[in-house]
Structure 1
Amino acid sequence: MKLVLTLLIFTAFLSGCKSTPPMYMYENYSESFYALKKESGHESDAQWQSSLESIVQKSNAKAVRVPPGIYANLGYIQLKSNNYPKAIEFFEQEKSIYPESSRFMENLIKKAKVKG
């Protein structure tokens, strides 16, 4: 009886140690955003865009959902460079993945359509 009880406790302990895969792949988002705010300019914008695109690629490769705000930030970068169709595309992607952002994304899409 003691052996069975010991095995059950040991099995419960080991099953509690199983790690779950991450929901999102944020990579170096914080560092790249900090660099953007610290030294704003074309070069830091390009580095931030590259960082965001890397997050999207790695998320897709690992079959995890792209973190919230990544497509919106990519859309914002495109909006700043007057690439309105691409900005709208990114805003639509953000809206489709995160429906709770629909109202905000719709406002950005309307502004991009007016400017474009």
Structure 2
Amino acid sequence: MKHCIKVIPVVACLLMLAGCQTTNTLYQWGDYEDSTYEYYKTPAELETYIAHLQESIARAEQSGAVPPGLYAEYGTALLNQGKKKEALSYYRKESDLWPESRHFMNAMISNLEKRS
């Protein structure tokens, strides 16, 4: 009986830890997190960052689940390159795909369209 009392908490902990393991994710992020960290650490590497975002978007679109914020981040990177039209296009994609961000994205779109 004493042995059983010692084993039960260990088994319970193992089961809880197993429940925390995730092998499948809802979205395909690619190397988005690492490349974003590197870009914000050394912003001079914009072209490399854009290439990583393009790869992340391509993988996500193939899987059919583009993560929230990915189109907006790519649009901002394009805007930093001076590509306003392309940036607006990706801001619209973000707004269409994620209704939660629609208010913010529409404000971004409106502000960009007001600029010459």
Verify same fold: TM over 0.5: yes
Counterpart in the other structure of 2:98: 98
Matched, 1:54 2:20: no
Matched, 1:40 2:40: no
Matched residue type, 1:107: A
After alignment, is 76-85 or 29-38 more displaced?
A: 76-85
Counterpart in the other structure of 1:29: 32
> RMSD in angstroms over aligned alpha carbons?
1.7
Shift of 1:82: 2.2
Normalising by the residue count of structure 1, what TM-score does the alignment of the two structures yield?
0.74
Counterpart in the other structure of 2:115: 115
Whole-Å separation in 2 of the counterparts to 1:60 and 1:106:
22
Matched residue type, 2:36: F
Q: Secondary structure, in 3 states, of the residue corresponding to 1:66?
A: coil
Q: Give deviations 1:32-64, integer Å, cap 9, x for gaps.
A: 0111121111xx2111111111111112222x3
Counterpart in the other structure of 2:18: none
1:9-24 equivalences in 2 (<5 Å): 21-24=24-27
Q: Give deviations 1:16-40, integer Å, cap 9, x for gaps.
A: xxx8843101111111011112111
Which runs of 5 or more structure 1 residues have no equivalent in the other structure? 1-18
Contact 1:59 1:66 in 2 (8 A): yes
Matched residue type, 1:24: Y
Which runs of 5 or more structure 2 residues have no equivalent in the other structure? 1-21
Identical residues among aligned pairs (%): 24
Contact 2:71 2:90 in 1 (8 A): yes
Matched residue type, 1:101: S
Q: Secondary structure, in 3 states, of the residue corresponding to 1:75?
A: helix
Shift of 1:92: 0.4
> Post-superposition, which runs of at least 4 consecutive aligned residues in structure 1 deviate over 6 A?
none
Counterpart in the other structure of 1:85: 85
Normalising by the residue count of structure 2, what TM-score does the alignment of the two structures yield?
0.74
